[in-house]
Structure 1
Amino acid sequence: MTTDTLRTPPPAAPPGGRITLRQNLRDSLVVAKRNLLRMLRIPETVVFGLIQPIMFVVLFAYVFGGSISIPGAGLSASAYREFLMGGIFAQTVTFATAGAAAGIAEDMQKGIIDRFRSLPMARGAVLTGRTFADLAQTAVILVVLAIVAFLVGWRIHHGPLSALGAFGLLLLLGYAFTWIGALIGLSVRTPEAATSGGLVWLFPLTFISVAFVPSENMPGWLQPVAEWNPFSATVLAVRDLFGNLPPGYQAPDVWPMQHPALASILWSVLIIVIFRTLAVRKYQRATG
């Protein structure tokens, strides 16, 4: 990385070394700008981030469409494509975890974090700025993915406000998971280990959920796991907001599935609070 990515220094700390909330936000935005500029200079990161979800859309839509029964719609290929997209959207935002983990691990390995330490800035701003940048990248990926989804037959049926609410829930979930990635990136020694650590647990999390098949199709002992999965709440909430649930669909009789939007928000906020606290503490110990 060249020094021009850090040309804009954070504002000087107030007298006495006390960092205000306003300066913390400013520092975070400066770090976010640095990471966004880096992403623009390495567009492959965005391109490769798009390839996997697009492949999932095409493969699941045309390979599994019409072969998986959806409650209220049966073996309808078009119904499954609409049912599918909520899961693909949610999976895509959670996979940003691996990018956040690898980026922070790389900065630690190259000594960029040590350079930040020498600047008069809030300690937590380094991580917050990184998560802001990852959130912006995730938003761009969601836009492109929505265009691809339209091409394979996905539609929004409940109007633009509900759609914006659905995308808001997706971005909130994605932001929550970047904090998990931040903790992973601070806990390993190499970007390669961070990438593996950021992905290996995501596959069971996303597949043991209502993302790709209804929980009713799973073994009885696995259904509660899928229904209480934080990922499932967001998937079901965005399907409802997009209007992608079949007319006769009945959600499982458990609280997260009966109140998916509220459950999605609560799960995401809880993840942010827990993993931001752990990541900032880990960062302070690692750079102390």
Structure 2
Amino acid sequence: MKAIVLLIATAMLVGSTFTICSAIPSESTDPKDDWKLYRTRAWGLDGFFQITEQTFRPAIVFESLGEYANLAYGLGENFIDDYPDDHQRAEAIFRYVRDHVRYQPDVDQFGSEEFAQNADELAEIMNERGRARGDCEDYAILLAVMFRAAGFRSAVVLAPEHAAALVYLPGYDRANMAWEFKGESGWIWAEATGGRNPLGWTPEQYIQGEDLFAYEITDEPVGAGEPPAEEAEKLAGRGGGPFFGASSFMIVLFLMLMLSMFGRVRRK
């Protein structure tokens, strides 16, 4: 019965037509990329965020790290010499992404309700045109890679109807909230979807820390089709814990629903 309900929920969330960009068409209506990840859905072991009944893993981020490190990683490395101070470097990277990516829903850009871009695709467009376009998961993916390249620990966080990046920046006092993740405090929210947003601003609706799950970014393989080796963890202002709490079925439905409606958040 669980499988039937899950299939129905999945069918309701998948768009009917897609415009393919920077991806290899598969035999189905969804496009797969060179790493065999679907760009038009986040769930499943071959989805760009690998959402399963147990956890999630932002696999698309790893397309621009490790042996695949390229343009976006190089952009992040460029900030190391120019900004020796960690706090200033993190702020500069955040401003760069905020100012060089213009928010645009996927349906307007690709004709699909969802189409994730990897960090190098965004970086290439920025190099060629000066500015790229994307929605919230695209900002999160690019920031996570660039922070990592610049010597920071980074993570991707999922919230209801939204995705963002986190950067580990202990002692940073300009944030409206410092988060604890994996038992360590000092994780800072990076919300670049609004043109006036500063680094460290957590949107008010997420301050309570409910239904927030994060996955730290490391140089691991893309791993399309393979179960995640690590678990996503609960993000909270005080403490955190494993991904489990509600039933696994309720968790996957919650994540599927919120991933289908990624949104923009601006500071007022």
TM-score by structure 2 length?
A: 0.32
Bigger radius of gyration among the two? 1
Hey, which of these two has a bigger chunk of strand by percent? 2
Hey, which of these two has a bigger chunk of helix by percent? 1
Structure with bigger RCO (C-alpha 8 Å, 6+ apart): 1
TM-score by structure 1 length?
A: 0.31
